[in-house]
Amino acid sequence: MSDTPSDHQDLTGRVALVTGGSRGIGVAVAAELLRRGAAVTVTGRKQPALDAAAEQLTPIAGADRVLTVAANTGHDEARAAVIATMMDRFGAVDVLVNNTGINPVYGPLMDADLGAVRKTFDTNVTAALGYIQLAHRAHMGAHGGAVVNIASVAGLRSTGVIPAYGASKAALIRLTEELAWELAPKIRVNAVAPGIVRTDFARVLVEGREAEAVAPYPLGRLGTPEDIARAVAFLASDRAEWITGETLRVDGGLLATGGM
Q: Return the active site residues.
A: 165
Q: Calculate the alpha carbon distances from 229 to 97, 174, 257 in Å.
A: 10, 22, 24
Residue 93 parent element (H or E): none
- Catalogue the E-assigned strands of the chain: 15-18, 39-44, 66-70, 95-98, 145-150, 187-194, 247-250
CA atoms of 19 and 142, how far apart (whole Å): 22
CB 49 within 8 A of CB 30: no
Strand partners, 67: 41
Burial-class residue 127 by CB neighbours within 10 Å (0-12, 13-18, 19+). Answer: buried
Eight-state DSSP code of residue 245 = S
Q: Calculate the alpha carbon distances from 153 to 106, 140, 170, 245 in Å.
A: 16, 28, 9, 16
| Beta-carbon count within 10 A of 109 CB | 11
Burial-class residue 129 by CB neighbours within 10 Å (0-12, 13-18, 19+). Answer: middle
Q: Please list, in sequence order, all residues whose beta carbon lies within 8 angstroms of the beta carbon of residue 75, skipping any fewer than 6 positions away.
A: none
